[in-house]
Amino acid sequence: METNKIHLDMCPYDVVAFQKKIIVKDCMGSVLGKLDSRVETTNFKGSDLHNSIKLPCGKFAYVTIDGDDVVFTLYAHHPHNAKLKLDNLLVWIRDNYDRIESIGWETLTQDWKIIKEL
């Protein structure tokens, strides 16, 4: 487990990184909070399908909300020694920042589109 800090919206956020999971702590007030696709947040019943991202390295990750934390977890199909790297996640955030601000959780990919690519 590694701990780091990232800056979003000019504020620092703690990051806890495991091999296949990255947790951005207490960031629901940041741009990442707009990735909350839970039905109780969006009032869109199909929103739970929008929960995935394709990282620049070609790996796929789920995006989930745990309290005030945003959690990125590699798909299980990746080899057991695969690692979710913070650098790849930061590139994805940078490349999609405007989309996230504009359309929020709709930036996420639907699960069935990811499964089709596997």
- The residue extents of the domains of the chain are 2-110
Residue 93 pLDDT greater than 90, yes or no:
yes
Q: Which range, 13-22, 30-39, 52-61, 106-115, is most confident? A: 13-22
Closest-CA residue to 92 (of 45, 24, 29): 24
For residues 75 and 81, the answer to whether their CB atoms sit within 8 Å is no
The predicted pLDDT at position 67 comes to 94
The predicted pLDDT at position 112 comes to 60
* Average pLDDT over every residue of 55-69: 92
